[in-house]
Amino acid sequence: MTQTYKIAVLAGDGIGPEITEQALRVLKLIEQKREVEFDCIDAPFGASAYFSHGKSFPEETKELCDTADAILKGPIGLSHEESEKIPVDERPERGALLPMRRRLNTYANFRPISLPAGMAHFSPLKKEVVGEGIDIMLIRELIGGLYFGGKENGTTESGLRYVKETLEYDEGQIRQILVVAFKESMKRKKVLHNIHKSNVLISSVLWNEVLEEVAKDFPEVKVIHMLVDAAATHLCLNPTQFDVMVMENMFGDILSDQGGGILGSLGLMPSACMGPDKAYYEPSHGSAPDIAGQNKANPYSMIGSVALMLDMSFGMENEAKAVWQAMQSVFESGFSTSDLSKGGDGIVLLSTTEFADKVISALEELL
């Protein structure tokens, strides 16, 4: 019997629609090759939704997400100047993305920082540092901390403008993300780097206390504690020491972008945002308005997000592996796009669609 999955497709802003279109071709091909149907339904989201529907996260999109089996989301956001045209509360980050994370309760953000040996030339790091390649799973708490804590602004008694934002976590929120990280470690090398700042922040002190409790249920996992500032250095100097890393929301935002940096581009960073009932998949990067609509952006992060969806929402692990392999083989054959590479040195630059054509042909062979 054909299994049907309903997928909400939120193409987003900037390069979102063009890379989403290519990612959907991958799903189409899998439909042809397997007993599965993907019912993909488009919905407005982000700045484009504000301009077309007056809301960056319209009701119809909320309802669709509520009933979908999974959500595929493109990048959102506009240039600084364009953003100014949207009221602060409707800007896509604050009006759409954060409310979506909270609504769907997607507390566990998986950000693979992965560079197989055949793609090592993308990294700005020296060859000997990249070694056999980088393979890190950064797990970021996604619905707590500074992002969602109380906020206040006003004027002090002496007339100075002030702001206050709070970093809040309760032990339940900490425990649930740590359990996810330990479980992921069990599936991989059983080494977990706990990233914190307990020399300054009491939120990290509580985090580490809860970690000691959770660790008792996973005696096989070796935990390595590392301060977040030190982790930033280690990611550059010795990234291959890491397997799974876990951290709170803000640390994860920053270090995952650094992850993109050591790979050579945020364009190589797909992600999965998992909650107890819902999951959505998105590139970790922004909407690159400077190259939007020019058929230049590499679709890797969006197609990679589809691979994560196949694996984590639909249990199609083999198909997911084939998608990764297909993309890597295209890079290994010397093809790239101009957002990732300058060309020359045997590298042939393709457009977004041409790159996806190659991925599709490679995938056809693998499925």
Report in angstroms how near the CB of residue 278 gets to ligand IPM at its nearest. 17
Q: Closer to ligand IPM by CB, 97 or 221: give it.
A: 97
Is residue 257 among the annotated active site residues? yes
Binding partner of residue 93 among Mg ion, ligand IPM, none, CB cut-off 5 to 8 Å per kind: ligand IPM
Is residue 89 among the annotated active site residues? no
Is residue 229 among the annotated active site residues? yes
65-91 residues labelled b (16+ CB within 10 A) or e (exposed) = beebbbbbbbbbbbeeeeeeebeeebb
Compute how many residues bind Mg ion; rule: CB under 5 A: 1
Report in angstroms how near the CB of residue 84 gets to ligand IPM at its nearest. 16
Binding partner of residue 313 among ligand IPM, Mg ion, none, CB cut-off 5 to 8 Å per kind: none
Residue found under tokens 């507390």? 107
Binding partner of residue 97 among Mg ion, ligand IPM, none, CB cut-off 5 to 8 Å per kind: ligand IPM
Are 45 and 73 in contact by the 8 Å Cβ rule? The answer is yes
Q: Closer to ligand IPM by CB, 177 or 326: give it.
A: 177
Q: Which residues contact 137 (CB under 8 A, 6 or more apart)?
A: 110, 111, 112, 113, 184, 188, 243, 244, 245
The candidate with the shortest Cα–Cα distance to 272, out of 104, 26, 45, is 104
Select from 253, 311, 319, 339 the one that contacts ligand IPM (CB under 6 A): 253
Q: Which of 50, 73, 169, 197 is catalytic?
A: 197
Q: Closer to ligand IPM by CB, 288 or 350: give it.
A: 288
Report in angstroms how near the CB of residue 273 gets to Mg ion at its nearest. 12
Give the whole-angstrom CA distance, residue 306 versus residue 327: 12
Select from 123, 173, 284, 337 the one that contacts ligand IPM (CB under 6 A): 284
Q: Which of 243, 253, 311, 339 is catalytic?
A: 253
Select from 42, 82, 90, 93 the one that contacts ligand IPM (CB under 6 A): 93
Compute how many residues bind ligand IPM; rule: CB under 6 A: 4
Report in angstroms how near the CB of residue 93 gets to ligand IPM at its nearest. 4
Select from 49, 97, 134, 268 the one that contacts ligand IPM (CB under 6 A): 97
| DSSP H or E segment with residue 102 | helix 98-104
Q: Closer to Mg ion by CB, 184 or 253: give it.
A: 253
First to last CA, the chain: 19
Give the whole-angstrom CA distance, residue 184 versus residue 192: 9
Report in angstroms how near the CB of residue 200 gets to Mg ion at its nearest. 22
Q: Is 253 in the site for Mg ion (CB under 5 A)?
A: yes
What is the Rg, in whole angstroms, of the alpha carbon atoms belonging to the chain? 21
Report in angstroms how near the CB of residue 287 gets to ligand IPM at its nearest. 9
Beta bridge partners of 272: 110, 281
Give the whole-angstrom CA distance, residue 165 versus residue 167: 7
Q: What is the DSSP string of 223-265?
A: EEEEEHHHHHHHHHH-GGG-SEEEE-HHHHHHHHHHHHHHHT-
Rounded to the nearest 10 degrees, the angle between the axes of helix 16-33 and helix 300-312 is 40
The candidate with the shortest Cα–Cα distance to 267, out of 292, 241, 242, 297, is 297
Could you list the active site residues?
147, 197, 229, 253, 257
Summarize as ranges the residues that interact with ligand IPM (CB under 6 A).
Answer: 93, 97, 253, 284
Summarize as ranges the residues that interact with Mg ion (CB under 5 A).
Answer: 253
